[in-house]
Amino acid sequence: MTQQHDAAPPSDQSIRPWLHIHPRHGWLNDPNGLSRIDGRYHVFYQHNPDGPRHTNIHWAHVSSSDLIRWSEEPIALAPEAGTINQQGCWSGCVVDDAGVPTAVYTAVHDGPDNAVVGLARSDRTLRTWTADPVGKIGNPDDPGVSQVRDPFVFTLDGRRYAVQGAGQPTGSPQLLLYSCDDLDSWTFLGPLLTYDDPIAAEVAPANIWECPNLFRLGERWVIILSLWRDASGFHQLCGVRYLIGDLVPAGDGLRFVTRGGGSVDDGATFYAPQVLVEPGRVLLWGWAWEGLDRSASAIEAAGWAGTLTFPRELGLADDRLVSRPAAELAGLRTGRLLPGADGVIAANAFEVVADGPVELALADPEQGTRVVVAQTTGAARLFVDGSIVEVFGTGPSLTSRHYPTATSHWELRSAADCQVWALG
């Protein structure tokens, strides 16, 4: 997934994720608006072009024909003073609305308690957008809900619906349901899922459910939720969970009947994924934020923060959500690598394909440190690109951030057969 980047300082070369969707400068968080229009993939993401901090949020945009080589496109959405999005264009999706690509997003006017669903429309290139000045729907008349955000649109039996994450910082989360056959006319249909559901409460504990995704896999429906929790007045982003179940009629709307659930990714730096439903498969990208090993001063000095994961294909195995690298990622392989003494891998970007247990570590002999970043128990694939590590095995995927230095190197240890590929 090559993008054009400005020349980086030597200290930055080893930690930048050069093959992932990642800004040359500024802040990145949630993937948005995943779509495929006229055969071209489009990925938008939350972005502050002015610095590596979460403020002044725009929608940045990249596109690709093959999920490997990405072209930077013009900024799609930007905050404008005196409008519904003057404090930010937060997360949402893109709908091909009878031939008109339409962004359905969270327009923040005056803080997260005062956000509405905004629309913006484009032509088939998705390069120039016109935002509607009027919000479509805001908070419901429910004292248990003070914040609503992140609309996700889906269809069922020829009808178009949307879900939004909701809750309040010291209360319980909800997933709200709307009908929106006409994107300019939204009708609130009540909650699709509440904290009264014992499986949801156990699997996805939160005060606000963020960035919901709702889609069909085989005979089941799947909800993906990102967990926002209050901790003594400070918010914490506490991972991503899935729920598997059925959509059933309930009055004028629908109800989600939960059958089970679990973790989407066990990494400590993975959040706010979004799916793209294609004929025959469902793709997912997530946000990987910076880890604790990268200081605030280092982030400010470098001027960038955050990356998206590689795209993943989702499936079900015995009513468990599983993920694997998108098939197209094999196109990043440029040649085989042979690990050196003690399993040293002399590359900043590589893939490991193993048929049994492996251990991957980041070692720095000069500092006397060796940090194990991944241990698998069965067949697995591991991807390293600068400071992002993505591991796929028999359980949930694992996304983490680790920061090579001028004196460190990657070490691979395995009693199993392994193939190591350079990526580029």
On whether the CB atoms of residues 70 and 308 are closer than 8 A, the answer is no
Burial of 86 (0-12, 13-18, 19+ CB in 10 A): middle
3-state secondary structure of 351: strand
- Alpha carbon distances (Å) from 384 to 14, 66, 150, 350: 11, 20, 30, 5
- Alpha carbon distances (Å) from 70 to 51, 66, 241, 330, 359: 22, 8, 29, 16, 31
- Tell me the DSSP string of 211-269: EEEEEEETTEEEEEEEEEEEETTEEEEEEEEEEEEEEEEETTEEEEEEEEEEESB--TT
Q: CA–CA separation, 390 vs 267, rounded Å? A: 9
Query: What φ, ψ does residue 202 adopt, rounded to 5°?
Result: -75, -45
Active site residues: 30
On whether the CB atoms of residues 263 and 240 are closer than 8 A, the answer is yes
Structure tokens that stand for 139 in this block: 């908070």
SS3 content of the chain, % helix, strand, coil (to 5): 5, 60, 35
End-to-end CA distance of the chain: 8
